[in-house]
Structure 1
Amino acid sequence: MADDSKYVRRVRGKLASRGRTSKADRMRQYNKHIENGTEVNEHDYCQNQQARPEEFTNASNMDIRHIGENVEVGSSKPWFQGRRVVELDVLARSMNCEKCNSWLRLSDIVDEVVYGMASYLYITCQNSVCRHISLVPTGKKSSKRGFDINYKVYLAMINAGMGPSHVNSFLTGCNIPPVDESTLRKKQKELAPIIINAAETSCKSAQIEELECSSSNELEGSFDAGWQKRGSAWSYNSQTGHSSLIGVNTGKVVEFDVRSKNCSVCSYYQGRNETTPQHECNANWTGTRKVSYGLENKSQFRIK
């Protein structure tokens, strides 16, 4: 018979250990505080500008389940609330008045305009003769007048395998103003061709390296494919799929392929019964109803 001595009582119908029982008790007390209107608001600690760090609520007493539900970002949000991503070198070089060249102070900020992860700070010059309001950027800008941090956020999102909603969930939890999805889509249009070109160049270099390591003139590799939608044993209906070939000797990707049955631009105009304008169509595959299976076979044939 099993030893139940380490279990204290049942939680949700199951025997629970002491640690889980204590956690359940804490959560029960926390929910009572919420019902009584005594919930601690983590994101309003900046409302008191005179508060000292030691006066802040201890982070160990905060529950992280709803840490981002009170974040508000918009024109009505005061500039001193929340956190920002700042390039210190750029900020330090810009902290002088545009008119009289006097030093500016962060305590004299009167407004803020947010551009994705970056922003412009409106700072009033304290020179009694000047009183000019200067625009101070919080980060570097590219040649196309876009902030570099927004490009970095998109690249980091792709590298981490996330989407816009995942990025904003992370930023909201950190109490950082989230990036609008349209901003990330714009960066995608600019950077996607560059990323694809870099991937193709990398594969060509890997092919040469793989052939140099091979004892024959043939390239040997391991092929695999996948799709973005979970399927069962009888239903593989994903609209997109991808495949890759990895060299045996180098362990590097020597070729890849991406297949898609739909194009969002085509679907949009077809749904409105309008003529589809000229664009770079993403639909590059047509086949059977079991799209995922067909995508895998087609990609394998293409890579060969």
Structure 2
Amino acid sequence: MINAGVGEQEINNILAYMNLPFVNKKKLKNRERNIGKSFEVVAAQSCSRAVEYEIRNSKETDEQWVEVSADGGWQKRGTGHSNNSLSGHVTIVGKSSRKCSSFGVAKKCRFCKNAIRRKVPATKHKCGKNWTGSSKAMGAFLTLKCLQDLKRKGLEVNALTMDDDTSTYTRVKRCPFSVPSKNNTIMI
């Protein structure tokens, strides 16, 4: 629910279809926060296992290249002129394991954003904001953050394959540990 953009109304529609009682917004939000913590722990463990597999596989096969693939997106589609999504995400998948090795989510807060726009103090809320830049820059930032996370875990990535997101491509190429290549693969 948290990352799928499904809210109270959609959940209640599903429950009504199954002839189950409705849930109120406050209870739903509390459950979402409790379960969300467990999801994050399980996701981190899964990524760690995928990284361990990639490291082990590169040593066993004596491959000089450790390749990963990265892709990202926003919860609200940009038009090229307007990139104003409140959240974005990036996932990095290892070539050998074909599993998620790292991921990142950047969030802006609509309560804080509205308070700044109206020049009033923000209402009391649980702020999950971890991003203040433009929505377009989220993907590049998260990709670099994920690559640094993989390096910290001991996975030396030598090649990154991604789509034609030029801002991410340029930022990764400028990174101190990258070596440029052609097409949509960046050799690191």
Structure 1 stretches lacking a partner, 5+ long: 1-156
Q: TM-score scaled to structure 1, two decimals?
A: 0.41
Deviation of 1:219 (Å):
3.7
Residues 1:275 and 1:170: Cα distance change in structure 2 (over 3 Å):
closer
Distance (Å, rounded) in 2 between the aligned partners of 1:251 and 1:276: 43
Instruction: Give the CA deviation at 1:250.
Output: 1.1
Q: What are structure 2's unaligned runs of at least 5 residues? A: 148-188
Question: In the alignment, does 2:21 pair up with 1:197?
Answer: no
Structure number with larger C-alpha Rg? 1
**Aligned mates of 2:99, 2:91 — CA distance in 1:** 10
Q: CA deviation at 1:262?
A: 1.9
Aligned to 1:284: 130
Q: Residue 272 and residue 176 in structure 1: after superposition, are their counterparts in 2 closer, same or farther (change >3 A)? A: farther
C-alpha contact 2:2 2:32 (8 A) present in aligned 1: no
Give the fraction of aligned pairs with identical amino acids, expressed as a percent. Answer: 31
TM-score, normalised to structure 2, is 0.64
- Report Cα offsets for 1:74-103 as digits up to 9, x if no partner: xxxxxxxxxxxxxxxxxxxxxxxxxxxxxx
What SS does the aligned partner of 1:249 have?
coil
How many pairs were matched up? Answer: 143
8 Å CA contact retained: 1:239, 1:261:
yes
CA RMSD of aligned residues (A): 2.9
Which residue number corresponds to residue 26 of structure 2?
182
Partner SS state of residue 137, structure 2: helix
**CA–CA distance in structure 1, aligned partners of residues 85 and 141 of structure 2:** 14
User: CA distance change for structure 1 residues 221 and 229 in 2, over 3 Å: closer, same or farther?
Assistant: same
Q: Which of 203, 208, 211 is 2:55 aligned to? A: 211
CA distance in 2, matches of 1:274, 1:161: 27
Q: Does 1:259 align with 2:106?
A: yes
Q: Which structure has more helix as a fraction of its residues?
A: 2
1:244 to 91, 100, 106: 91
Q: Provide closer, same or farther for how the CA distance between residues 258 and 160 of structure 1 changes in structure 2, counting only shifts above 3 A.
A: closer
For residue 255 of structure 1, what is the amino acid of its counterpart? S
Alignment of structure 1 residues 17-32 onto 2, 5 Å: none
The CA deviation string for residues 141-180 of structure 1, in whole angstroms up to 9 with x for no partner, is xxxxxxxxxxxxxxxx569874322111122233332111
